[in-house]
Amino acid sequence: QQVEAEVVTFSVPSYACQRRTTLENHNTVLTDALSLLAENAELSDEDGRGVAFRRAAAVLRSLPEPVTDMKQLRGLPCLGDHSLRVIKDILEDGASREFESTKQSERFKALKVLTGIFGVGSRTADRWIREGIHTLQQLRDSGQSLNRAQQAGLEHYDDLNRPLTAAEAEAVGEIVERAVVSVLPGAQITLTGGFRRGKLTGHDVDFLITHPDEGREEGLMSKVVSWLESQGFLLYQKTTRNSYLESKDGPARPPANMDRFERCFSIFKLTMEERRGTEQPENGERNPNPAEDTLSVGARSGSQTDENTPPQSQVPADERRHRVSGEDGGQEEAKPAAHKPWRAVRVDLVVSPISQFAFALLGWTGSKLFERELRRWAGHEKAMSLSSHALYDNTQVNTSQSVFRHFIAALSFCSVKIL
C-alpha cells in the first residue's frame, strides 16, 4: 500500500496580469529553459508557441517556492503538454534534451548573434543564415547591404548587448529631461519600460513625454531630437510621426504590435562625464531602496508585477540581446570594450497627448507578456478593448466617463498601480 507523500501545491490565477510577481524567482532552472524555448520559437516565427512557453515560464516564476515534484503542478494554468514535458524532464532527469539541443544548435546561436544586432529581426537573420552567415565577422565580410539602423547596430554591437544599469538609465534620463525642458518648458518626461518596473538592468531606456496642456506636445519630438543632435548626444535616431489622427484603416496603419504615437528609436552616446555621479557598485546586490535607483523625474510603480524581471544574479542565460557578445558571438567580439570614454545606449522616446497619457504609460511599462495578458483579460473577461491609446467598452456606445470609470475598475483587478 502506497501512501502519497504530501506535496506543497499552489494556486495561481490564469492571467499573468492578475498575479503579483516579485523580482524573486525560485524556479530559475525551469524558467530559463522555458524562456529559451520561447525565444527560439519567436526567432523561428512561431509566435503562438513562443507565447505558450512565455506563459508557462511566467506561472513558474510566480510560485513562492521551488517546484520539486510534478504533482505540485496539478491545477496550475497555462502549462501545456509541451511545457509540462520540458519541466518533467528537468525535474526527473535533471535536464531537458530539447532545451540542451536547442541551446547548442548552430541555428539558434546564429539567430541570437544576428538578431542581437539592432535593426535585425528574425526574418533578416534567417535569410542571412540561409546564405551561410552565422557570425558578425561573416556578416561584415559578406558585403550584405545594411540599412542605417543595422549599420549602427553592428558598429555599436558590444555596447548595445551589454546590460544597462539603473544608474545609466538615470544618467540618460537627466539628458532627456534637459532636452525636453529646453525646447518646451512644462513638458514632462516619465521613465517607462523595464526600469519603471524596478528591473535592475535593461537593454534600453524608455521614456514617455507629454505636456499638461493638450496639443502643446505637437511637434515636440523633432525639437527634442534636434536639441539632442546639436549637443552631440545622438549616434542614431529614427523618428516615426504619430498616426492617431489618421483614418483607422488608412495606409498609415501601424503593425499590430505598434501603437500610433510619435516615437523615436535612438542610440545615445553616453559619456563618462554624464555617467559620473550616478555610478553605483556593480556587484549585483539589490538596492534596499530600489526607488532611489531610478529616475526622480516622473512616476514609477514600486510594486508592478513582472514576469520578465529576474534579479540580476539570476538573469536567464537566454536574455535576448544582453548576453550574446563573447558567449556565442565567436571570437570577433572577444576583445574587451575599448577604453573609450563613452558607451552607446539604446533609448526609446514616445510622445503622447495628455488625454492618452494614462493608457500610453500603462502600454509602455510592460512587460510584453503583462501587456498581452492585460489586453486578453480585458477582452475576454470584461468585454473591453485596451490599447496604448484608450479603453473601449465593447458592449456600449462609449462615453469617455464610463470608459474611464471602467478603466480604473479594471486596473484595480490587476495589481497595477498608476501614478
Q: Which residues bind ligand GTP (CB under 6 A)?
A: 193-194, 199, 202-204, 206, 258-259, 348, 363-364, 366-368, 371, 388
For 10, which DSSP code?
-
Smallest CA-to-CA distance from 91 within 120, 128, 66 is with 66
Using the minimum distance from each CB to ligand GTP, give the nearer residue, 155 or 348. Answer: 348
- Interface with Mn ion includes 204 (CB under 5 A)? yes
- Interface with Mn ion includes 306 (CB under 5 A)? no
- Interface with Mn ion includes 318 (CB under 5 A)? no
Using the minimum distance from each CB to ligand GTP, give the nearer residue, 316 or 366. Answer: 366
- How many residues bind Mn ion (CB under 5 A)? The answer is 5
Judge contact between 347 and 183, C-beta under 8 A.
no
Residue 204 bears catalytic tag: yes
CA-based torsion, 248, 252, 255, 261: positive or negative: negative
CA-based torsion, 374, 377, 380, 384: positive or negative: negative
CA-based torsion, 87, 91, 92, 93: positive or negative: positive
Write down the least CB distance from residue 29 to Mn ion, Å: 26
Residue 126 bears catalytic tag: no
Q: Which does residue 366 bind out of Mn ion, ligand GTP, none, counting CB within 5 to 8 angstroms by kind? A: ligand GTP
Write down the least CB distance from residue 387 to ligand GTP, Å: 8
Using the minimum distance from each CB to ligand GTP, give the nearer residue, 203 or 275. Answer: 203
Three-point CA angle 97, 103, 106, nearest 5°: 115
C-alpha span between 184 and 419 (Å, rounded): 22
- Residues near 121 by Cβ (< 8 Å), separated by ≥ 6? 115
C-alpha span between 119 and 340 (Å, rounded): 24
Residue 45 bears catalytic tag: no
Write down the least CB distance from residue 241 to ligand GTP, Å: 14
Q: Determine the interface stretch with Mn ion among 68-76, 194-202, 216-224, 277-285 (rule: CB under 5 A).
A: 194-202
Catalytic one of 206, 293, 318, 328: 206
* Residue owning grid cell 491545477: 75
Judge contact between 315 and 201, C-beta under 8 A.
yes
Write down the least CB distance from residue 118 to ligand GTP, Å: 12
Q: Determine the interface stretch with Mn ion among 34-42, 161-169, 331-339, 345-353 (rule: CB under 5 A).
A: 345-353
- Interface with Mn ion includes 371 (CB under 5 A)? no
- Interface with Mn ion includes 32 (CB under 5 A)? no
C-alpha span between 344 and 269 (Å, rounded): 5
Write down the least CB distance from residue 17 to ligand GTP, Å: 12
User: Which residues are catalytic, by number?
Assistant: 204, 206, 348
